[in-house]
A = this chain, B = another copy of it.
Amino acid sequence: MLLYQKIQKYIQTHIANGELAIGDKLPSERALQEHFNSTRITVREALNRLEAEGLIYSQKRRGWFVTPNKLKWRPATKVNFYQLAQEQGFTPNTHVLSIEKQENVSLNQHFSGDTLYKIERVRSLDGRPIMFEQINCDASRFDDLESQPLNGSITTIMTSHYHVDINNEECVISVTVLPDDVAKSLEKNSGAPCLKVIRQRFESSGILIDYNIEYWLHDAIEMIVIGQ
């Protein structure tokens, strides 16, 4: 067995038998290096593989930690983030990074209005930032949106306050890496793998309600999709 595999197995075992619990910090890279009479390169090879596997994660310059359970998410249902997270035993939080109006240029293929709202938020579970989202919608349709409580469910605001009826949505899902600015917002190193979701939601008239880009940490989410 290769050395990095031994290190991997060692950590896997300690997690499996509970000596390392969810959220715990792993020994430092140098401590592991000494324990295995090895080098940091090899230790980091093992850590990187465990990270790809989703067993551990790193926060920039703070260290390596045992990954919590994944949030099970059904994108096609209207259950909101707070409810979903709480049902699964997490303490959710949403931090609004920014809301601004901008001219409809880059997204003009999507919206008919000439001014858009752009909202950026970070969502956390038990204090761990796991998702960044950018929400784009028509400013004329959602007049004075900035005065609404934007750290809650935007969907609820849209349906209750603006009387939008969300009829259907389309998600495009791919695996890629966090853009640098998103990585910073999520306290991750640049280049961290993620699940990217582009969501478009429509009214029954066919009009586009919002166009959203979400970046989920790859180890923080499990999507459940029902077809037909």
Contact = CB atoms under 8 A, between A and B. Distances in A.
A221 B223 CA distance: 16
Contact of A174 (B171, B223, B226): B223
Interface stretch (A57-65, A90-98, A150-158, A162-170): A162-170
Contact of A172 (B171, B172, B177, B224): B224
B76 A218 contact: no
Interface stretch (A26-34, A47-55, A107-115): A47-55
A173 interface: yes
A224 B54 CA distance: 24
A218 B175 contact: yes
Contacts of A218: 175, 193
A70 B174 contact: yes
Interface string A156-200: 000000000011111111111100000000000001010100000
Given A52-B193, A191-B49, A228 B175 contact: no
A225 interface: yes
Contacts of A175: 54, 175, 193, 195, 218-219
Count of chain copies: 2
If over half of A's interface residues share one DSSP class (helix, strand or loop), that class is named, otherwise mixed; here it is strand
Contacts of A206: none
A18 interface: no
A96 B70 CA distance: 33
A177 B228 contact: no
A195 B176 CA distance: 11
Query: Residue among A49, A170, A177, A228 with the most chain B CB within 10 A?
Result: A228
A149 interface: no
10 contacts: A52-B177, A54-B174, A54-B175, A167-B228, A170-B225, A170-B226, A172-B223, A173-B225, A174-B223, A175-B218
In the complex, the 7 A-B pairs of residues with the closest C-beta atoms, listed nearest first = A76-B227, A175-B218, A168-B228, A173-B223, A171-B225, A169-B227, A49-B191
